[in-house]
Amino acid sequence: MESSTALLASFQPNYLLYPSLRSSSIIFSPPQSHFFSPLKFQLQTKQLSFASSQFFSPVSRNATLSDTYSETFEELADIDWDNLGFGLVPADYMYVMKCGQGGSFSKGELQRFGNIELNPSAGVLNYGQGLFEGLKAYRKEDGNILLFRPEENAVRMRQGAERMCMPAPTVEQFVDAVKATVLANKRWIPPAGKGSLYIRPLLMGSGAVLGLAPAPEYTFLIYVSPVGNYFKEGIAPIHLFVEHELHRATPGGTGGVKTIGNYAAVLKAQSAAKAKGYSDVLYLDCVHKKYLEEVSSCNIFVVKGNVISTPAIKGTILPGITRKSIIDVAHSQGFQVEERLVSVDELLAADEVFVTGTAVVVSPVGSITYLGKRLSYGEGGVGVVSQQLYSVLTRLQMGLIKDDMDWIVELS
């Protein structure tokens, strides 16, 4: 196991950490937040702790320390953990790494969270050359931190980058950057059972380009925010409107990768549905207009007896990591899972319906409205299958049951 002293010694000596290499902790004065003012902070120094099987540091081997970074171990930020929603709560640090066109990402750095500077002609602003990911960190009762399948997000970003003509961090660089960012913002991770730390990696064409072409420079950035439930209903059933005129994706397009433009395209239908009291929109395929695709930012599952069906990944549907995990969990619980074309008629005849995603995890569907007709499932409560799968997956993510799937990365 690498020692922390050896790791820190590998950095250039002009960083803020250098004067205190022999110290077990370094304290900084936290910035005032515009969202929570004034904040109260209780500082508590602790010894660095590492997992026995693998070395974890707030700074990865692929990172340097910006002159704004200082290592600190503190009590939790003083915010109302019992009433977290799904909105941005600025944390302390973000991770930034850059590379040129045709090059490779090398060393990134932790910087104070804040605005970034972009040329008005940046590729991401003019041509939408950008991707993002989403994953979560959870705090256990013993204080250790859990990440859920971060390597899957790394692989998906690389697949999306190939489609969008962008270089991407390696899987190792991605995962190391996530670990570094999470540990640098550890005090913003909610107490066990109070929520999670949402982690948002971005990859964008940050270089200036006027004509339509790949950008000459790329930025990989990670920021984080503590979050509660995505839907205001929480685990309570949500209500979906089936959209049959507007479409999220087309065959041969970018619906199967997590590019930024996919999400702006759903805002019109989503806003109209929410204005009418619906939770979100379920989209149909654009060719036959009768097969289910996905909700604005979630995959959908239909339950009939012991069979759980979900639309197959065929280029227009995002290969969700929670989707993939739920399929494996469902198999382990004795369900038959089918990935195939699922018609809207099957949706109408289902025993139960639920959606999955990083933000929502598993959310039961209480009703769907299609062509002016509303259909409710069950008696308006949480379906048995939805509850079962939600319980197994969330208990696994939070470290409450044994991880037989080898999905969890634990940081201490």
Exactly one of 136, 258, 290, 373 is catalytic; which is it? Answer: 258
Residue written as token pair 């469902």 = 330
Distance CA 277, CA 263 (A): 20
Return phi, psi of residue 51, to 5°.
Answer: -65, 145
Question: DSSP labels for 7-21?
Answer: HHHTS-TTSTTGGGT
Distance CA 95, CA 379 (A): 46
Of 73, 84, 86, 10, nearest to 46 by C-alpha is 73
Task: For residue 265, give every residue at least 6 positions away whose Cβ sits within 8 Å of its Cβ, in sequence order, or none.
Answer: 248
Distance CA 154, CA 95 (A): 15
Task: For residue 143, give every residue at least 6 positions away whose Cβ sits within 8 Å of its Cβ, in sequence order, or none.
Answer: 412
Distance CA 242, CA 368 (A): 7
Q: Are 346 and 298 in contact (CB under 8 A)?
A: no
Which amino acid is it at 19? P
- 258 catalytic? Reply is yes
DSSP code at position 252: T
Catalytic residues: 258
